[in-house]
């Protein structure tokens, strides 16, 4: 069995954490070749070559691959597909944009967000916002899979695997990049952070979200949010945790002013320790919390920041 793994590369930079977690899952299936592509991808390729379990790295650099557009990236992967039994990636928004396109071009189903590998054909994945775990056995000759990073540990390091440069294929030319709006932050990245502090509608305003951020900074944490907080404009979209946002499983997750709807729980209930601060003792978030504090967040959070 041989696996082609699409590395998470953004603006030439490798996301080691997401990629190394997918390598752990992919290594259960066979020999892992990592594909790094982008307008620049050589440095990312060097990083990927040092992830333990990677046997080879392919680097494709071309302007058409520069902004993670689905059509040229999928075309490149399809051109390489004949050498591999499995085509996989970490379940990021980029991979979820590209892999179903690859699968359809190969006339196979995609297995999205796999959380477990049973054998080379059989995978577990959460459905219904994580309220059920389904085991599926693929009848397709080739498997196309995205792996949920929150359930796999990152692979370690190794001496560098060989790197091969390959060329891009013709750009289908269906779309072009216009701009990225990315907020720079010194905080840890949400999906790889050891501690996450999230705020919900209870926080009440964008200004008061500073309270959540001050607690996060005290704990060296990433900041998350519920959908209601994002919809209300208190927090940017890339902070949303949940069924349709990011899935996190840190050592410590602190939910502040979040009721605990199933769609939110879907993104955080595998965290090791969950703390909930909510003034409503009936809030469902307390059913998954290891430590619950029934309190007004406007007094409890400043006190917590002071006493930690």
Q: Which is nearer to another protein, 162 or 282 (CB)?
A: 282
Q: Which of another protein, ligand FAD, none lies near 231, with the C-beta cut-off 5 to 8 A by kind?
A: another protein
CB of 83 to another protein, least distance (A): 20
Residues forming the site for ligand FAD (CB under 6 A): 200-202, 226-229, 240-245, 257-259, 261, 263-264, 267, 278-280, 283, 296-298
3-state secondary structure labels for all residues of 8-19:
CEECCEECHHHH
* Phi, psi angle pair for 198, to nearest 5°: -120, 145
Beta strand 195-199 with 222-225 is parallel
Residues numbered 271 to 290 that lie near another protein (CB under 8 A) are 272-275, 281, 286, 288-290
Taking the C-alpha atoms of residue 53 and residue 255, their distance in angstroms, rounded to an integer, is 36
241 appears as a binding residue in the annotation: yes
- Given ligand FAD, another protein, none, residue 110, with its beta carbon under 5 to 8 Å by kind, binds another protein
In angstroms, rounded to a whole number, what is the distance separating the alpha carbons of residues 87 and 274? Answer: 34
Per the CB < 8 A criterion, the answer to whether 218 and 161 are in contact is no
Interaction partner, residue 180 (ligand FAD, another protein, none; CB < 5-8 Å by kind) = another protein
Among ligand FAD, another protein, none, the one that 264 touches (CB under a kind-dependent 5 to 8 A) is: ligand FAD
Q: Quick one: angle between helices 209-219 and 297-307, nearest 10?
A: 20
Least distance to another protein from the beta carbon of 75, Å?
Answer: 10
β-pairing, 13-14 vs 9-10, is antiparallel
Residue 229 contact, options ligand FAD, another protein, none, Cβ 5-8 Å cut-off depending on partner type? ligand FAD
Query: Rounded distance, CA 260 to CA 277, Å?
Result: 11
The full DSSP string for 55-84 is EEEEEEE-GGGTT--HHHHHHHHHHHGGG-
Residue numbers 75-94 binding another protein by CB under 8 A: 92-94
Binding mask 147-176 for another protein (x = CB under 8 A): -------------------------xxxxx
Q: How far apart are CA 174 and CA 240, in angstroms?
A: 30
Q: Does 186 bind another protein (CB under 8 A)?
A: no
Residue 163 contact, options ligand FAD, another protein, none, Cβ 5-8 Å cut-off depending on partner type? none
Spatial CA neighbour of 93 closest among 306, 269, 238: 238
Q: Which of 67, 133, 81, 298 is nearest to 199 (CA)?
A: 298
Shortest distance in whole angstroms from residue 39 CB to another protein: 15
Residue 283, contacted partner among ligand FAD, another protein, none, CB below 5-8 A by kind: ligand FAD
Q: At its nearest, how many Å lie between another protein and the CB of residue 101?
A: 4
Q: Residue 260 Cβ, how far from ligand FAD at the closest point, in Å? A: 7
DSSP state of 272: S
- Please state the closest distance from residue 52 (CB atom) to another protein, in A: 24
The Cα–Cα gap between 136 and 116 comes to: 10
63 near another protein, rule: CB under 8 A: no
Residue 74 as a binder of another protein (CB under 8 A): the answer is yes
Q: Any known ligand binding at 258?
A: yes
The b-or-e profile of 162-193 (16+ CB within 10 A means b, else e) is ebeeeebbebeeeeeeeeeeeeeeeebebbbb
**Pick from 122, 163, 201, 214: which binds another protein (CB under 8 A)?**
122
Which amino acids are annotated as binding site, given as ranges? 201, 226-227, 240-244, 257-264, 278
Q: Would you list which residues are annotated within the binding site for FAD?
A: 201, 226-227, 240-244, 257-264, 278
């Amino acid at each position: 069995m041989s696996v082609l793994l699409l590395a998470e590369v953004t603006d030439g930079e490798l996301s080691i954490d997401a990629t190394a977690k997918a390598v752990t899952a992919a290594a259960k299936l066979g020999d892992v070749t990592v594909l790094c592509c982008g307008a620049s991808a050589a440095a990312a390729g060097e990083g990927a070559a040092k992830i333990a379990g990677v046997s080879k790295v392919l680097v494709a650099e071309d302007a058409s691959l520069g902004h993670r557009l689905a059509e040229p990236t999928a075309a490149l992967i399809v051109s390489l597909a004949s050498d591999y039994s499995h085509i996989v990636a970490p379940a990021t928004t980029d991979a979820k944009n590209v892999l179903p396109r690859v699968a359809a071009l190969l006339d196979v189903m995609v297995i999205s967000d796999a959380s477990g590998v049973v054998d080379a054909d059989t995978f577990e994945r959460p459905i219904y916002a994580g309220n059920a775990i389904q085991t599926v056995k693929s009848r397709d000759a080739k498997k196309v899979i995205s792996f949920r990073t929150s359930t796999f540990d990152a692979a370690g390091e190794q001496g560098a695997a060989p790197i091969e440069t390959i060329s891009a294929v013709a750009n289908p030319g269906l779309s072009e990049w216009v701009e990225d709006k990315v907020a720079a932050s010194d905080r840890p990245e949400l999906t790889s952070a050891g501690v996450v502090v999230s705020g919900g509608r209870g926080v009440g305003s964008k200004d008061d979200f500073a309270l959540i951020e001050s607690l996060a900074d005290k704990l060296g944490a990433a900041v998350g949010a519920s959908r209601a907080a994002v919809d209300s404009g208190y927090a940017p979209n890339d902070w949303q945790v949940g069924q349709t946002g990011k899935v996190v499983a840190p050592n410590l997750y602190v939910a502040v002013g979040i009721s605990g709807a199933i769609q939110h729980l879907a993104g955080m209930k595998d965290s090791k320790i969950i703390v909930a601060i909510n003034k409503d003792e009936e809030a469902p978030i307390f059913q998954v919390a290891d430590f619950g504090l029934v309190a007004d967040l406007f007094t409890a959070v400043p006190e917590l920041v002071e006493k930690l």
